[in-house]
């Protein structure tokens, strides 16, 4: 069908040629996703690899998540405190910091940080394995690379990213309190009771569901670009950059769509 | 109950074509490998040698023709069905392809742990790994990582991994590429030793004629542990009647025959791969 369109109309054919690459890439990505998900129910389950990846992708990311959380919470408290001061509502700083962090900033910032760190890390690791024929060797030696490399990373990320988000949220609130205390002289109990009372279950659900969904996107995009790497070290570098950019953009785009789903149903 | 008959052909290509997009990497290639044969595959860079080996292993999809492994049609088989067939094939990759994050012992044990139907007890596995590493004289590197070894040692460790399950068919992709002459000779000696000790069938991809010459004309002597010249075979001109040479050019098989026929060829492309000191001097 494509051939007939191309022969009858050269300009349409040229457009189809341009579109062929991205469409094939999307098809490959969905096939990889399907295989990775299907492996959840298939033996062998490489649990040792899952633990290893939870350590590398999750625990290894704690420092960067703590730093991001602390400074984002602190900056938010600084700016919001000033805005609220105009209305004599500085005491509500904890409420604003808590809601914004748990609903939006915590999941998104954590996921962006993890996308930058882990999607590129996964892509470079798998890319190096691809260009040095280790992926082929794995297949030759009786292992499905998707089952051995992709599924464990996907599981590890799905477990660890929500946990990292909780850490980010808590550290962010603590960072907000430090600024609240130092700049606006907020009371400890008042701040923390405000942050606690501000949250409802739907905030917590969306605050954990978002990173859970983002985790699949980040890990699968990292694996996808890594397994497609070709052309030696230059190809690995290219795959790393592409994975990081694609994962970050995907997180931001998905966040909007998830927001559109969650916000109408959120109870205030 | 009678024993199942051993396959006549370990590998058979029937008009195999492999394309990557617009590029034709293998073009209508046909040949068959009988049990006990060693095939030396010569060709310039980009002529399709590695693609041929990977296609034989089922790592590349075939665009046309059929590939038979152990008399079974392996064309288009799903990956999970190919794992059982690949268990009977050992492959040495061009850059060794050892897993960076694993020790040499873990690398060599990998097929024993992961290939379907090769589950062994821990003791048997340790013994097999040690035996295999002893075979390539690398027993002392068990707990070292690939990055700690030299290029030649990595190649030997990769041979140990390829032969640890004692597969009847071995595929060697440029085993001597990038190695100095002494190390290259050591690797080729190991390939000959494996052939003569375990009676394996092998495909050896190389661009060095002397590698093929060594395989065709030398035998492993288990008493001395060295290579001795094989008895002359009047039929083939070369020493070994089980060694067949193949030459690939731009994805096409342009020569298949014995050493004498290869050396007698007047084709300018084929002549580039054959060292004939007296003629070269002339």
Is B161 in contact with B98 (CB distance < 8 Å)? Answer: yes
Quick one: pLDDT at residue B116? Answer: 73
Q: Of B51, B59, B58, B53, whose CA–CA distance to B24 is shortest?
A: B51
Which burial class, exposed, middle or buried, applies to B42 when counting CB atoms under 10 A from its CB (0-12, 13-18, 19+)? buried
| pLDDT tens digits for range A50-109 | 999 999 999 999 999 999 999 999 999 999 888 888 888 888 888 999 999 999 999 999
Per CB-CB distance under 8 Å, the chain B contacts of A43 are none
Is B210 in contact with B217 (CB distance < 8 Å)? Answer: no
CA distances from A133 to A49, A127, B112, B255 (A): 20, 10, 20, 28
Parallel/antiparallel/unpaired status of strands B226-229 and B218-221: antiparallel
Q: CA-nearest residue of chain B to A146?
A: B79
Domain with CATH 3.40.50.300 in chain B: 1-88+170-175+203-282
SS3 content of chain B, % helix, strand, coil (to 5): 35, 25, 35
Is B245 in contact with B203 (CB distance < 8 Å)? Answer: no
The average pLDDT across A110-136 equals 94
Parallel/antiparallel/unpaired status of strands B89-92 and B169-173: parallel
Per CB-CB distance under 8 Å, the chain B contacts of A133 are 93-95, 97
pLDDT per residue, tens digit, chain B (282 aa), is: 455 566 678 899 999 999 998 899 999 999 999 988 999 999 998 899 999 999 999 999 999 999 999 988 999 888 888 888 888 999 999 888 999 989 999 999 999 888 877 677 888 889 999 999 988 888 888 899 999 999 889 999 999 999 998 899 999 999 988 888 888 888 899 899 889 888 899 999 998 888 998 998 888 888 888 888 887 655 555 455 688 999 999 999 999 998 888 888 888 888 888 865 454 444
Q: Does B83 touch chain A (CB under 8 A)?
A: yes
Q: Is the pLDDT assigned to residue A23 strictly greater than 80?
A: yes
Quick one: pLDDT at residue A266? Answer: 62
Q: ipTM score of the complex? A: 0.85
- Least CB-CB distance to A144: which of B57, B79, B93? B79
Is A126 in contact with A226 (CB distance < 8 Å)? Answer: yes
Quick one: pLDDT at residue B228? Answer: 84
Torsion angle, CA of B133/B137/B143/B145, rounded to 10 degrees? -100
The average pLDDT across A162-174 equals 95
Rounded to the nearest angstrom, the minimum Cα separation between B196 and chain A is 24
Parallel/antiparallel/unpaired status of strands B64-69 and B9-20: antiparallel
Q: Does A140 touch chain B (CB under 8 A)?
A: yes
Express as a percent the part of chain A with pLDDT over 90: 63
Which burial class, exposed, middle or buried, applies to B66 when counting CB atoms under 10 A from its CB (0-12, 13-18, 19+)? middle
Per CB-CB distance under 8 Å, the chain B contacts of A138 are 99
d(CA B238, CA B255): 16
Q: Is the pLDDT assigned to residue A8 strictly greater than 70?
A: no
Is B265 in contact with B255 (CB distance < 8 Å)? Answer: yes
Per CB-CB distance under 8 Å, the chain A contacts of B108 are none
Which residues fall within 8 angstroms of residue A106, CB to CB, at 6 or more apart? A69, A165, A168, A169, A172, A207
Quick one: pLDDT at residue B77? Answer: 86
Interface test with B, best of A28, A34, A131, A133 (most B CBs within 10 A): A133
Quick one: pLDDT at residue B40? Answer: 94
- Least CB-CB distance to A132: which of B57, B95, B161? B95
Is B228 in contact with B240 (CB distance < 8 Å)? Answer: no
Q: Does A139 touch chain B (CB under 8 A)?
A: yes
Instruction: Please name the fold of domain B1-88+170-175+203-282.
Output: Rossmann fold (3.40.50)
Rounded to the nearest angstrom, the minimum Cα separation between B272 and chain A is 29
**Phi-psi region for residue B226, left (φ > 0), alpha (ψ -120 to 50) or beta?**
beta
Quick one: pLDDT at residue B198? Answer: 86
Which burial class, exposed, middle or buried, applies to A162 when counting CB atoms under 10 A from its CB (0-12, 13-18, 19+)? buried
d(CA B226, CA B220): 6
Q: CA-nearest residue of chain A to B54?
A: A136
Quick one: pLDDT at residue A5? Answer: 45
Rounded to the nearest angstrom, the minimum Cα separation between A34 and chain B is 15
A20 token code pair: 């062929």
Q: Does B146 touch chain A (CB under 8 A)?
A: no
CA distances from B250 to A165, B261, B269 (A): 55, 21, 11
CA distances from A154 to A227, A252, B197 (A): 14, 19, 45
Q: Is the pLDDT assigned to residue A267 strictly greater than 70?
A: no
């Amino acid at each position: 069908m494509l051939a007939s369109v191309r022969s009858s109309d050269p300009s349409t054919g040229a457009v189809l040629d341009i579109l062929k690459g991205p469409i094939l890439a999307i098809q490959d990505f969905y096939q990889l996703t399907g295989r990775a998900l299907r492996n959840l129910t298939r033996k062998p389950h490489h649990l040792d690899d899952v633990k290893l990846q939870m350590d590398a992708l999750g625990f290894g990311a704690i420092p960067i998540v703590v730093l991001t959380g602390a400074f984002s919470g602190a900056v938010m408290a600084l700016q919001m405190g000033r805005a609220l001061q105009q209305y004599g509502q500085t005491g509500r700083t904890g409420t604003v910091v808590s809601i914004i962090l748990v609903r939006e900033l915590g999941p998104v910032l954590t996921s962006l940080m993890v996308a930058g760190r882990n999607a590129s890390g996964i892509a470079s690791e798998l890319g190096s394995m691809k260009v040095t024929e280790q992926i082929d060797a794995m297949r030759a030696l009786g292992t499905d690379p998707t089952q051995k490399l992709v599924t464990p990373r996907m599981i590890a990320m799905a477990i660890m990213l929500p946990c990292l988000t909780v850490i980010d949220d808590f550290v962010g609130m603590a960072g907000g309190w430090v600024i609240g205390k130092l700049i606006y002289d907020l009371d400890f109990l008042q701040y923390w009771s405000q942050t606690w009372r501000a949250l409802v279950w739907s905030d917590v659900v969306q605050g954990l569901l978002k990173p859970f969904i983002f985790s699949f996107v980040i890990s699968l995009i990292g694996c996808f670009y890594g397994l497609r790497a070709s052309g030696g070290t230059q190809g690995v570098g290219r795959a790393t950059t592409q994975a990081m950019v694609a994962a970050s953009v995907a997180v931001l785009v998905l966040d909007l769509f998830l927001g559109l789903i969650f916000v109408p149903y959120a109870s205030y | 109950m009678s024993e199942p008959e051993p396959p006549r052909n370990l590998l058979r290509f029937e008009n195999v074509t492999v394309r990557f997009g617009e590029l034709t990497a293998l073009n209508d290639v046909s040949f068959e490998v009988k049990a006990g044969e060693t095939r030396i595959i010569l060709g310039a860079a980009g002529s399709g040698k590695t693609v041929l080996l990977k296609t034989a292993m089922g790592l590349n999809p075939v665009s046309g023709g059929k590939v038979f492994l152990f008399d079974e049609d392996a064309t288009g088989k799903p990956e999970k069905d190919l794992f059982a067939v690949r268990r009977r094939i050992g492959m040495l990759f061009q850059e060794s392809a050892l897993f960076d994050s694993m020790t040499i012992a873990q690398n060599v044990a990998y097929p024993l742990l992961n290939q379907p139907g090769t589950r062994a007890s821990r003791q048997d596995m340790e013994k097999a790994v040690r035996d295999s590493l002893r075979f390539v004289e690398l027993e002392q590197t068990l707990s070292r990582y690939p990055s700690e070894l030299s290029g030649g040692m990595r190649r030997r460790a990769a041979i140990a991994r390829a032969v640890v399950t004692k597969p009847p068919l071995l595929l060697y992709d440029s085993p001597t590429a990038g190695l100095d002459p002494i190390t290259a000779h050591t690797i080729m000696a190991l390939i000959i030793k494996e052939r003569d000790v375990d009676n394996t069938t092998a495909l050896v991809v190389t661009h060095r004629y002397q590698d093929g010459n060594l395989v065709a004309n030398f035998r492993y002597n288990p008493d001395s542990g060295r290579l001795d010249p094989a008895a002359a075979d009047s039929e083939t001109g070369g020493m070994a009647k089980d060694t067949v040479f193949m030459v690939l050019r731009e994805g096409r098989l342009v020569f298949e025959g014995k050493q004498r026929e290869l050396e007698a060829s007047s084709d300018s492309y084929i002549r580039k791969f054959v060292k004939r000191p007296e003629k070269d001097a002339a």
